[in-house]
Amino acid sequence: MTRTTSRWRGAIGVAAVLGLAACAPGSGSVEPDGTDDTAGAGEISTDISDVQTTLTVWDQEVRGGQNEQIERLNEAFEEQYPGVTIDRVSQSFEDLATTLRLALTDDEAPDVVQANNGRGTMGAFVEADQLLPLNEYAEAYGWYERYPASVLQYSTYSEDGAVFGEGNLYGLPQVGEVVGVFYSRSKLDELGLEVPTTWAELDAALAAAKAAGQTPLQLGNIEAWPAGHVFGPLQAEYTDPADITALGLGNEGASWTTPENEAAAAHLAGWVEQGYFNEGPNGTDYDAAWQALAAGDGVFLIGGSWLAADLEDAMGEDVGFFVPATDDGTLATTGGTGLPFAVTADTDVPDVAAAYVDFITSDEAMEIIAETGNLPVNRTGELAPDGGVQKDVFEAFGEVTTSGALLPYLDYATPTMGDTLGQSLQNLIAGQMTPAELTEALEADYGQFVGAAG
């Protein structure tokens, strides 16, 4: 099948000032092949140049740079397609989660929505036939080539919503997330250490920091979920990424009760026994932990890329970020995407909706996303800033998604896994649960879910 493209035309506000040009939908069309759910009845079209309509879009891009990038892209889209008016409804993440479920059953449902990737949201909407499978648009617009498979898996479900990560594509994200290790450059200099590149080197650095009287590793785990962002990356040192993906997405075919997973839990428990964490991590607030690192108490902190801006504001050039490589040199770590933009099943303008999704996730759109301080899900390494911790984050995410393994958040797996994982890790850190008992608790939750779904 073929695809033709045009370029963004005319003066389109700030985008034009910056000299941006972006691929817009072309005039090609695709015939359904009958092998997958179709993305609409009959032929689809990527030519919306003569369409006159209003496109209703619900998003949660309400914060600073998030709002700026979507406003700029919406303005550019309307300039490119003057017959299309975007009716944007922006809500907080929490409000969108509350209102979206009801909205999708309404006769006036929006055309494009941001839907949380997880089983309880996107998976439930797929099961209820409330989202449009986008396979044919993906072929027409080249999304399968634009996006790494490790990213697309988080917007992919089987037709019945039972299998996460395989089947039909239901949306595209704009931004990414990656979990890694933040560190103080000055602390490493004081200790005479280079930036670690592997888990073994990180272990050695933690031991050196402890011996020098420093707090090696900050962790604020009072909310229970943060320890999952420590255990998840560490798990990749021992367990095959394919097995972690199956466990994290709640799909059949893997097991928690393996020597590899138990070894990962034992590694984490060893950090506790060796005194590498700050005092009382289970009683420490999440924000207090990164703020302690910023204030000079601690050498390392394992956390998500969303902390980079705050840490850079507080620490300037002193803060860095890396993802430890596994024994075989692979960068495998926990991460994911922002909420994907999906097309609702009842939209009257699926071609326009798909064209919009393509436009705001195009290669050129990634430039706008980066310029407004967000982590673009594609072209990430290429669009990295010239220096600072954000450069480290951009390059790490780019390498993980293109040549490494982006592993799911483990609480994606089941409706109750967030509570099970959080409580079990708190117990492990408190010395109230052994590594074997932790894997058994996780296996019970996972096994019950996949057994009931099978």
Q: Are residues 176 and 335 in contact, defined by beta-carbon separation less than 8 angstroms?
A: yes
Neighbours of 325 (CB within 10 A): 21
Report pLDDT for 11. 28
Residue 93's H or E segment, with its range, is helix 93-103
Q: Is residue 25 predicted with pLDDT exceeding 60? A: no
Report pLDDT for 194. 97
Report pLDDT for 34. 35
Q: Are residues 176 and 340 in contact, defined by beta-carbon separation less than 8 angstroms?
A: no
Domains of the chain: 6-175+338-379 (3.40.190.10), 177-336+390-453 (3.40.190.10)
Q: Bridge partners of 182? A: 301, 321
Report pLDDT for 105. 85
Residues 365 and 350: their CA atoms lie apart, in Å, by 21
Q: pTM (2 decimals)?
A: 0.86
Residue 401's H or E segment, with its range, is helix 389-403
Amino acid at 34: G
Q: Is residue 13 predicted with pLDDT exceeding 90? A: no
DSSP letter (8 states) at residue 344: B
Report pLDDT for 375. 96
Residues 405 and 385: their CA atoms lie apart, in Å, by 23
Cα 92 → chain centroid:
18
Report pLDDT for 453. 64
315 pLDDT band, cuts 50/70/90, is very high
The residues, any chain, with a CB within 8 Å of residue 311's CB and separated by 6 or more, are 182, 290, 293, 294, 319, 389
Alpha helices (runs of H) in 175-307, residue ranges in sequence order:
185-191, 199-211, 228-235, 241-249, 259-273, 286-294
Q: Is residue 243 predicted with pLDDT exceeding 50? A: yes
Q: Is residue 126 predicted with pLDDT exceeding 90? A: yes
- 93-125 pLDDT, tens per residue? 788 878 888 888 887 889 999 999 989 899 999
57 pLDDT band, cuts 50/70/90, is very high
Q: Is residue 231 predicted with pLDDT exceeding 60? A: yes
Residues 153 and 167: their CA atoms lie apart, in Å, by 9
**What residue ranges in 305-399 does DSSP mark as E strands?**
319-322, 332-337, 341-343
Report pLDDT for 106. 80
**Mean pLDDT score, 224-250:** 96
Report pLDDT for 4. 26
452 pLDDT band, cuts 50/70/90, is confident
Q: Is residue 19 predicted with pLDDT exceeding 50? A: no
